[in-house]
């Protein structure tokens, strides 16, 4: 047991070569587009933002609302259904695919996190897992959805909560880690 506890992280051994999110040119063009069109407080119309996302490879539905100061890592790893709302200060850190259904809400400051690191390895290797938000799901303000999590249809992740596991359909989750609090009844 002593030898296991004496091992240390060695970031000089970190190798991200297996991960290729796109060409350097494509990522650079997106970086500046994201900065000037999405991560700005200037109220650029959502229709323009949706068109720009489509030009960069995102699958975006009809009448999507994207508020100011939204950060999207890679639009080519993003799909958004119809009538979805994305609030101010949302960060979609999509190193892997993020699928957002129709009629979903990402409230202010919500964070979708698709990447992490393998803390059991000296080299601290990158791990990426997709996120799925099924139709009608709601991620509350300042809430975080972790890699590999699915919010099943019409589930709710309450304000400031952290989803580390899948959320059941028509259920409300709260806390860190988020736990089931009650069923969601839509009238």
Indicate whether 1 pLDDT > 60.
no
> Of 60, 106, 70, which Cα lies nearest the Cα of 85?
106
Q: What angle do CA 88, 30, 49 make, to 5 degrees?
A: 45
Q: Which element (helix H / strand E) includes 25?
A: helix 24-33
- Break the chain into its structural domains and give their ranges: 23-183
CATH code, 23-183: 2.160.10.10
- pLDDT by residue (tens digit) across 38-95? 999 999 999 999 999 999 999 999 999 999 999 999 999 999 999 999 999 999 999 9
Question: What whole-number distance in Å separates Cα of residue 43 and Cα of residue 28?
Answer: 23
Predicted pLDDT of residue 129: 98
- pLDDT by residue (tens digit) across 129-172? 999 999 999 999 999 999 999 999 999 999 999 999 999 999 99
pLDDT band for 107, please (50, 70, 90 cuts): very high
Question: What whole-number distance in Å separates Cα of residue 13 and Cα of residue 43?
Answer: 44
pTM above 0.75, yes or no: yes
Predicted pLDDT of residue 130: 98
Decide if 145 contacts 113 (C-beta within 8 A). Answer: yes
pLDDT band for 7, please (50, 70, 90 cuts): confident
Range 159-185 burial, b when 16+ CB lie within 10 A, else e: eebbbeeebbbbbbbbeeebeeeeebe
Q: How many residues does the chain have?
A: 187
Indicate whether 179 pLDDT > 70.
yes
The H-assigned helical ranges of 39-84 are 46-55
pLDDT band for 6, please (50, 70, 90 cuts): confident
């Amino acid at each position: 047991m002593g030898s296991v506890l004496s091992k240390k992280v060695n970031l000089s051994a970190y190798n991200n070569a297996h991960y290729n999110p796109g060409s350097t040119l494509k990522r650079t063009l997106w970086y500046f587009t994201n900065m000037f069109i999405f991560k700005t407080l200037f109220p650029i119309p959502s229709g323009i933002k949706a068109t720009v996302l489509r030009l960069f490879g995102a699958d975006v539905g009809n009448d999507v609302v994207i508020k100011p100061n939204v950060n999207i890592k890679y639009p080519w790893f993003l799909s958004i259904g119809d009538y979805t709302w994305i609030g101010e200060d949302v960060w979609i850190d999509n190193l892997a695919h993020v699928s957002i259904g129709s009629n979903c809400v990402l409230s202010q400051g919500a964070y979708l996190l698709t990447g992490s690191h393998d803390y059991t390895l000296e080299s601290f290797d990158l791990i990426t897992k997709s996120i799925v938000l099924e139709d009608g799901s709601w991620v509350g303000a300042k809430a975080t959805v972790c890699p590999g999590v699915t919010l099943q249809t019409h589930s709710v992740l309450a304000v400031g909560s952290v989803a580390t596991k899948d959320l059941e359909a028509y259920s409300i989750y709260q806390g860190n880690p988020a736990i089931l609090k009650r069923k969601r009844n839509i009238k």
